Structure 1
Amino acid sequence: MKKWMFSAILYLALVIGGYFTYDAFFAKAGETDSHDMSAEHETNKEVSHADEESHEEDGHEEGGTTEHSEHAEAAPTESDVVVSLTAENNTLSINLEDKEGKPVTELEVNHEKLLHLIVVDETLEDYYHLHPEQIGEGQFKVDVDLKDGNYKAFVDIKPTNLNYIVQPTEFVIGNPDGHSHGELKADDQLVKTIDGNKVELNVSSFSLNEHVTLTFNTGDIELEPYLGAMGHVVILDEHANEYIHVHPADHEKPIFETEFTKPGLYKIWGEFKQNGKVTAYPFVIEIK
């Protein structure tokens, strides 16, 4: 009997000991798995957070670029409008077509006109600012009495939804003698008197790539509105290859703004309406 009881107690001790050993082992394994899963979760969170930061940085950069491109208006490098001009019997005819040969019909009013035509001779002495009449789709004409010579014309328009660059169009009237007369020289004083009316030009800068303000002093003679402002200004380089755009800085005063991107001589025509008559005052400056 004592032997049986001793065997039963020993068996119970073994069972209890085995249970505690089993529980301790799997509890430790569970802690290890839990720790591993927690570490993996934290790692995934770090990767996810890093991806999110990277996405945010990329999105911010792209957003900045988009915003910049929306607000930056780049100048066109190529013209979508083909301009042709013919001269016959004191009539200049202009034809505007797109690259597919279709007439350009949608033009914005620019300084009160659909089309401004600037014509100069090869010496830049003769200057004409004309406003041709529209006679058809993309077709204009104007009558002007020009002496024999070589000329360049500049068609100033604002097509809707088309890039456009003002470029010279050459044409010949009659039988030119083939001799150019004189060379362009910078004025010593920027003061011109025509028909007793004196106009003085003040240029804020003669340097490249700087904002330039052109201020005209017309004295006591009262100016009348002309082409939507108190004057109109045209600038060409000495070879009449580059047409410089000029913008009124003030619609009540003869002040204009522009910029020169190349060195050299430039001729400026300031056009003003006085006593019902429009007069062009020419000035020559040098940009260095």
Structure 2
Amino acid sequence: MTEQSSKSLSKTGWVSIGMLSLVFFGAYFVLRALPAAQCGFLHYEEIVNAEGEIELCATNHAGFIDLTRFTYPIVTELSSDTALEPGVTAQVELNLQTQGGTNIAPHELAVTHTEKMHVMVIDPSLEDYHHVHPRADGLNGRYQFDFKPTHGGAYRVFTEIVPLRSRSQAIALSELAVAGESQRPKFERSTVSVVDGVRFELLGAPESLQRGRDYRFEVKVAGAEGAVVHLETIMGAKGHMVAFDAAGKGFAHMHPVDSVASARTAGFGGGTEESSELAFLFNVPNTGWYRLFAQIQVEGKPVFGRFDLQVE
């Protein structure tokens, strides 16, 4: 080997070492920037009680989660002892595991918005929406919930948790087969919905939304002839909102923008019972139609308003 070749290899070696050093330094600072709080990513914040214990995790995060772009290290398997049929209540068992096959017990989950697990269930037509909180059946990673579908087809089931070990949000997507033919969703822009005598109105939504942009929506709730509706606390706030896309890529689970501050100061109430307006943030990465469900509770009963919006 010539002296010139030796110097060239030496120079190349030092350049490689320098580049590797930059990579490691960059990774170090990226890891340092990641949230160390138990409540993890996506703007979850810890609500601490008087004893200094983490009472729950809360967020008003606006982002739509596209599950074709993100993979989470958990899986769920759903089963039922009886065939699922429209109009019939059945018990569904949910088996929660890591991708490696390890069961995830309830004591390994953080409380987020007063619950250890949020499960959003929607049929193919995006008409029949359910928000449930499965109950644990021991420590073997098995959970159960009651389910009464109104339509046929393959329901999509989004399971949302925050494992204490990873300290970050995790989502699993699975399906429940219900007897009968499925229907395709039909969309028409709508910002007013009347359900069970409750009128929902979505304020702040332009005729056409832009992807990747934050929007602040207000949901105004009123009763017959404009009567005041007393909103009861549900999951630590006076209301919640979920959005699904026509393409079936994912969902957004939104909470009132003042719910975190209210939780710190008002015993997780998220506002006063007399409040009839709720504010939410909304941001999606993809174009297309979206169906939004606003959930409130009145006289102990959940009520769901529905809106359709188009993103260009």
Q: TM-score, normalised by structure 2?
A: 0.65
User: How much does 1:249 deviate?
Assistant: 0.5
SS at match of 1:215: strand
Assess if the C-alpha contact under 8 Å between 1:85 and 1:93 holds in 2. Answer: yes
The question of whether the paired residues in 2 share the 8 Å contact of 1:147 and 1:173 is answered with no
Higher helix content, 1 or 2: 1
When residues 165 and 196 of structure 1 are mapped into structure 2, their CA distance, relative to the original with a 3 A threshold, is same
Distance 1:167 1:184, change over 3 A: farther
Aligned equivalent of 1:210: 213
AA of the residue aligned to 1:123:
S
| Contact 2:75-2:172 at 8 Å conserved across structures | no
Matches within 5 A, 1:208-247: 208-219=211-222, 220-247=228-255
- Out of 199-208 and 225-234, give the one that drifted further: 199-208
Match of 1:122 in 2: 124
Partner residue in 2 for 1:190: 191
Report how far residue 147 of structure 1 moved. Answer: 4.7
Match of 1:271 in 2: 295
Q: SS in structure 2 opposite 1:70?
A: helix
Change (3 A) 1:117 1:60: closer
Q: Residues of 2 paired with 1:66 and 1:209: CA distance? A: 29
User: Distance between the aligned counterparts of 1:61 and 1:159, measured in 2?
Assistant: 29
Alpha-carbon deviation of 1:227?
A: 0.6
Aligned ranges for residues 13-24 of structure 1 at < 5 Å?
A: none
Residue 173 of structure 1 aligns with an amino acid whose one-letter code is V
Structure with the larger RCO, 1 or 2 (CA within 8 Å, 6+ apart): 2
1:172 correspondence with 2:142: no
| Alignment check: 8 A CA contact 2:128 2:150 kept | no
**Once superposed, what is the RMSD of the aligned Cα atoms?**
2.9
Task: Mark the CA change 1:160 to 1:186 in structure 2 (over 3 Å): closer, same or farther.
Answer: farther
With over 3 angstroms needed to count, the CA separation of the structure-2 counterparts of 1:68 and 1:127, relative to structure 1, is same
Q: Tell me how far apart the structure 2 counterparts of residues 209 and 70 of structure 1 sit (CA, whole Å).
A: 27
Q: Within 5 Å, which residues of 2 pair with 1:1-288?
A: 67=29, 69-71=31-33, 77-89=70-82, 90-105=90-105, 106-137=108-139, 138-147=141-150, 149-150=152-153, 151-162=155-166, 165-174=170-179, 176=180, 178=181, 180=183, 183-187=185-189, 189-204=190-205, 206-219=209-222, 220-251=228-259, 252=271, 254-288=278-312
* Secondary structure of the structure 1 residue equivalent to 2:104: coil
Counterpart of 2:78, as a letter, is L
Change (3 A) 1:152 1:87: farther
Q: CA deviation at 1:107?
A: 0.7
Q: SS state of the match for residue 267, structure 1? A: strand
Deviation of 1:266 (Å): 0.7
CA distance in 2, matches of 1:161, 1:216: 36
Tell me if structure 2 keeps the 8 A contact 1:167–1:243. no
1:71–1:203 Cα change, 3 Å = farther
In the aligned structure 1, how far is the partner of 2:200 from the partner of 2:162?
Answer: 30
The Cα of 1:139 is off from its aligned counterpart by 1.1
Question: Do 2:239 and 2:255's aligned partners in 1 also have CA atoms closer than 8 Å?
Answer: no
Q: Which one is further off, 228-237 or 200-209?
A: 200-209
> Hey, what's the Cα distance between the residues in 1 that align with 2:185 and 2:126?
9
| Structure 1 unaligned blocks of 5 or more | 1-58
Q: Deviations over 1:145-177 (max 9, x none)?
A: 335622111112112233554343122123x2x
**CA offsets, 1:85-131, max 9 Å, x none?**
11332111101111221111211111111112221111111111112
Q: Compared with structure 1, are the counterparts of its residues 61 and 133 closer, same or farther at alpha carbon in structure 2 (3 Å cutoff)?
A: closer
Q: Structure 2 regions of 5+ residues with no counterpart?
A: 1-20, 36-40, 43-68, 83-89, 223-227, 260-270, 272-276
**Pair 61,140 (structure 1): closer, same or farther in 2 beyond 3 Å:** closer
Aligned counterparts of 1:148 and 1:278: Cα–Cα separation in 2: 19
TM-score (norm 1): 0.70
Change (3 A) 1:146 1:202: same
State the number of aligned residues. Answer: 227
The separation in 2 between residues aligned to 1:154 and 1:123, in whole angstroms, is 16
Percent sequence identity over aligned pairs: 23
* 2:52 aligned partner: none
The 1:171/1:191 distance shift into structure 2, 3 A limit, reads same
